Amino acid sequence: MHRRYVLAALLVSLVAGAVVSLLIQGPVAHRSALTRWTWNGFLFIVPLVLAVITVTGARWSCMVVVIYGTIGLALDISTIVQEFLRAQIVSTAVLLSAVTGFLNAALIGIGGNGFLDFDRTSSLRAAPPPSRRSPSSAE
């Protein structure tokens, strides 16, 4: 139960990181409206919806959080590599990507653990005992 709140806090932290990034770097002017809405939905709406679903206790939400964290970590790594290849100095994009990359890695680890390690007694019923063999089947 505690793990759900940690995942929700990490997702809200990613939203806060996206807000900080938007405030520091500003909006990108050359993006189309569809691209801007899609990107903002991925950065702001999806993590908030996932945080709400995770807190409700749906077990499958842990796997969705792992998938979201994997995509986010891949984007963070690609941003860091691109910035290192382009510039000689460390920019704010590298620092922000490093922080959100750490948060995404934590999402992957904690969410994967939450998906694989669950309370079997509360979610699965005990199997019925095996039936005895009938005397007619014994030869």
Tell me the pLDDT tens digit for each residue of 43-93.
899 999 999 999 998 888 999 999 999 999 999 999 899 888 887 777 788
Q: What is the pTM of this model?
A: 0.77
Which of 73-77, 92-96, 119-123 is least confident?
Answer: 119-123
- Show contacts of 44-47: CB within 8 Å, 24+ apart: 44/15, 44/18, 44/19, 47/11, 47/12, 47/14, 47/15
pLDDT tens-digit readout, 4-26? 899 999 999 999 999 998 888 77
The confidence score (pLDDT) of residue 54 equals 92
